[in-house]
Structure 1
Amino acid sequence: MVPRTRPTVRRKRLGAVLRRLRLAAGVSMEEAAQRIDGDKPKLSRIENGRMNVRRLEVEALLDLYGVTDRATVGALVELARQGRRKGWWHQCGQDLDEGFQERLDLEDDAVRIHVYQPFLVPGLLQTPEYARRVIREAERDAGDAEISKWVEMRMARQGIFGRSPAPGFVCVLDEAVIRRRVGGPDVLASQLEALRERARPPEVTIQVIPFGEGWHAGLDGAFAIHGYPDPLELDIVSIDYLDGTLYLEEDASVERYRRAFDQLRASALSSRQSMELITRYARELREEVVEAR
């Protein structure tokens, strides 16, 4: 029996592109499998991201599909090579569940990340103090040492902003996020000040949808869109729920979320206006802290 292998994001992206190219070329699974001395189950595992594919196999499939553009061939061969690479988090010594590893894979390779969050500041923008309060509430059975490790991991994730080039990051927040007093006024004030410092359009853009906007396209909940530079670009939508994360890759589904995100940005204050709102509320919180002392 062939062991079940978790489909990493890189392998899923490569498999999805290879499947699209096969279908566009009108090649059957049997014919493609024969080209790489395999069978239909092997090709299916490749296209589903459950099996590594060698460079020679990628080149053989692309030749069969009539793909001759050197840039496309080179990019897909490189993606196959990266499918065997382990991310930085494998050295952290923590037992990470598969869903969280998939999230780290998404962030590590993305060239653009669009996030909508109606509840909390996204992990990629959280301060250590804010993150600690969020994690402590979510993991009530965890001890201080374990919580500290998770906070360190969350801060390490923010290293993607130090990449060259860094991913373009656009974050739309509901006003409830900047009003919700996670950790109390002091912790929230520091978090809002950190948002103000982090916002540097176009690299990092933060916008807020004010309460006065009423209905908007994000009332169904949080989501993120991760974009990649591959040939036949494959964007992936992630939606968190109580027991895990749902990933959407089908074109029609992804396009709906792209449109929803565009509508959310249109409903939000501009980046400048959002920073003014965040700064004003942070100042109010600081005054409250001083008065309480």
Structure 2
Amino acid sequence: LALFGKQSMWWKPWSGITTAYLQTVMSFEDMAQRIRSYEPQFLNGLLQTPEYARALIDRGPDPAHHAALAELRQRRQAQFAAAQGKELICVIDEASILRPVGNAQIMRRQVQHLIKLNEDPRYQLRLAELKRTNLPVEIGSTAIFDFAEALLPTIAYSESIDGGLVIQDEAAVDRRAKMFDKLRHQSLTPSKTTGKLRDVLRTNYYR
């Protein structure tokens, strides 16, 4: 970690407009071999189309920085896509694709993008259906970073409107990881997720 911290980070040009906890997340994304993620309200930043990302960013403060932040999000995706041996496992809450961000056209392209990503073996998308009962969604916004180096333990991260929390306590990380894996296994498989996404396209975003 110390050696990694001394390197010049690719996101340094954006350091003046990003929060410390976002910079931490980007560092973890670079180092992790596997990322497990659940977002109850919006899609993970690594899954967002440029239009979806910009519509979401435009809802935030500091309009002068919105274009740069949208550019940064695209760069994050490019960094992940270019890396070798990485895996992203995302549980997508059904509410996040039924509640429009921007407009129907943006959502249509976003859902189409999710379907395409689910064909890539580096991405595993699972849908947590609203009709399913007893899903452990109380885990909230969570990212779990698994690293290739045996000496670097798994780290969890949770985010709210007030900021981000890095979780390193072994018992707390293990508890959150088990909750995530339970949620993942109770959600739709990747192939059934693709089918559900196509259904959402037909019923919600092709009117």
Match of 1:223 among 138, 142, 157: 142
Match of 2:192 among 269, 273, 280: 273
Structure 1, unaligned runs of 5 or more: 1-9, 12-79, 289-293
**Taking CA–CA contacts closer than 8 Å with sequence separation of 6 or more, which of the two structures ends up with the larger relative contact order?**
2
Contact kept in structure 2, 1:189 and 1:283, CA below 8 Å? no
Contact kept in structure 1, 2:100 and 2:107, CA below 8 Å? yes
Cα drift, residue 97 of structure 1 = 2.6
Name the aligned partner's letter for residue 173 of structure 2.
V
Contact kept in structure 2, 1:112 and 1:168, CA below 8 Å? yes
Match of 1:149 among 68, 87, 96: 68
* Structure showing the higher strand proportion among its residues: 2
- Name the CA distance, whole Å, in 1 between partners of 2:51 and 2:24: 25
SS in structure 1 of the partner of residue 196 of structure 2:
helix
> Cα RMSD (Å) of the superposition?
1.7
SS in structure 1 of the partner of residue 138 of structure 2:
coil
Provide the TM-score with structure 1 as the length reference: 0.67
Distance 1:164 1:130, change over 3 A: closer
Structure (1 or 2) with the larger CA radius of gyration: 1
- 1:189 equivalent in alignment to 2:108: yes
Provide the TM-score with structure 2 as the length reference: 0.93
Spell out the pairing of 1:191-210 with structure 2 (5 A cutoff). Answer: 191-200=110-119, 202-210=121-129
Q: How many residues align?
A: 207
Distance 1:99 1:161, change over 3 A: closer
Distance 1:92 1:244, change over 3 A: closer
Partner of residue 119, structure 1: 41
Name the aligned partner's letter for residue 137 of structure 1.
R
- 1:102 equivalent in alignment to 2:24: yes
- Name the CA distance, whole Å, in 2 between partners of 1:229 and 1:214: 35
The share of aligned pairs that are identical, in percent, is 28
Cα drift, residue 94 of structure 1 = 4.0
Q: Which sits farther off after the overlay, 84-93 or 251-260?
A: 84-93
Name the aligned partner's letter for residue 117 of structure 1.
E
Cα drift, residue 92 of structure 1 = 4.3
- 1:84 equivalent in alignment to 2:6: yes
Residues 148-202 of structure 1, C-alpha deviation per residue, up to 9 Å, x if partnerless? 1111011111023333414210000111111111112111111100111111354
